[in-house]
Amino acid sequence: MSKSSHFKQLYFCAWAGPFFISTFLVFWAFMGDFLPPLPGAAPIEEITAYFRDNTNTVRWGMAVSMTFCITYLVWALAISRIMDFCLGEVDSILSRIQTWGAAFTVVSIYLNCGMILGAAYRPEALDGTMLRLAYDLGWVFLDLGFFPTTLQMCAMGVAFLADPRQPKLIPKWLSWYGIWVGLMFFAVLLMPFFKSGPFDRAGLLNYWIEFGIWYIWCAVLSVYVLKAVKRLESESSPA
């Protein structure tokens, strides 16, 4: 494979990041009305209203989110390549952990969207407890599927920090920030025990802070990934 087509593919993967971030925000967060989600203590009428009153919005939101959430993995492939450049290895274990971590993150998004979409398929025929179960399951899969993402973030942090370049391809603070965000996810282990308050799935810590710091990480990293690909391209081409 020629060098230029290699970098074309790498750019394609790197741009999948901003694409994921924006589709996730529009179709999952806004159309799925997950800003924030209904708390565990939400009355059953609110859950049924969520499915029965916005049926088509939710269907479109979930269907498009499911379609495109794989772009998170495509983006992770660009990250893996950058990690290999940092480590000076081909197909390193760390970059594999990172890729697989991203793949399983996508699985929990699939499950989340699938549960919600399944309930939105015929909400008029399902009673409230069924709809609530689907909603709860969707959030259990998303929140408690955090550990692959933690592994992913820690693996890339370690690889980025091992970069001998000065300055590093990905700045140190961002690597540490990612590791911190990944470890913060452990707080969602408390989510199954609460239906309100900060540890609830819609609460201050387990929703606003966890998803907020993760989303910021995604956005900032996607910029630095593009920068890193650009630098690698200029490094590889003779001046």
Which listed residue (121, 193, 234, 235) binds another protein by CB under 8 A?
193
Contact in structure between 132 and 151 (CB atoms under 8 Å): no
Determine, following the binding rule CB under 8 A, whether residue 205 of this chain makes contact with another protein: yes
Q: Residue 166 burial by CB count (10 A; 0-12/13-18/19+): exposed, middle or buried?
A: exposed
Tell me which residue has tokens 């498009």. Answer: 64
User: In angstroms, rounded to a whole number, what is the distance separating the alpha carbons of residues 176 and 156?
Assistant: 10
Question: In this chain, which stretch among 5-13, 101-109, 192-200, 225-233 interacts with another protein, using CB under 8 A?
Answer: 192-200
Which listed residue (70, 111, 190, 220) binds another protein by CB under 8 A?
190
Nearer to another protein, 24 or 177 (CB): 177
Determine, following the binding rule CB under 8 A, whether residue 209 of this chain makes contact with another protein: yes
Determine, following the binding rule CB under 8 A, whether residue 150 of this chain makes contact with another protein: no
Kindly state the smallest distance separating residue 184's Cβ from another protein, in Å.
7
User: In angstroms, rounded to a whole number, what is the distance separating the alpha carbons of residues 53 and 59?
Assistant: 12
Closest by CA to 108, choosing from 28, 206, 190, 205, is 28
Determine, following the binding rule CB under 8 A, whether residue 212 of this chain makes contact with another protein: no
Determine, following the binding rule CB under 8 A, whether residue 173 of this chain makes contact with another protein: yes
Question: In this chain, which stretch among 35-43, 78-86, 87-95, 202-210 interacts with another protein, using CB under 8 A?
Answer: 202-210
Determine, following the binding rule CB under 8 A, whether residue 161 of this chain makes contact with another protein: yes
Kindly state the smallest distance separating residue 173's Cβ from another protein, in Å.
4
Tokens at residue 165, please?
């370049």
Determine, following the binding rule CB under 8 A, whether residue 184 of this chain makes contact with another protein: yes
Determine, following the binding rule CB under 8 A, whether residue 50 of this chain makes contact with another protein: no
User: In angstroms, rounded to a whole number, what is the distance separating the alpha carbons of residues 144 and 219?
Assistant: 22
Q: How many distinct helices (H) and strands (E) make up the chain? A: 9, 0
Which listed residue (179, 191, 218, 221) binds another protein by CB under 8 A?
179
Backbone phi, then psi, for 194, in 5-degree steps?
-130, 145
Longest Cα–Cα distance of the chain, Å, equals 67
Determine, following the binding rule CB under 8 A, whether residue 158 of this chain makes contact with another protein: no
196: left (phi over 0), alpha (psi -120 to 50) or beta: beta
Binding site for another protein (CB under 8 A): 161, 172-173, 175-177, 179-180, 183-184, 186-187, 190, 193-194, 197-199, 204-205, 209
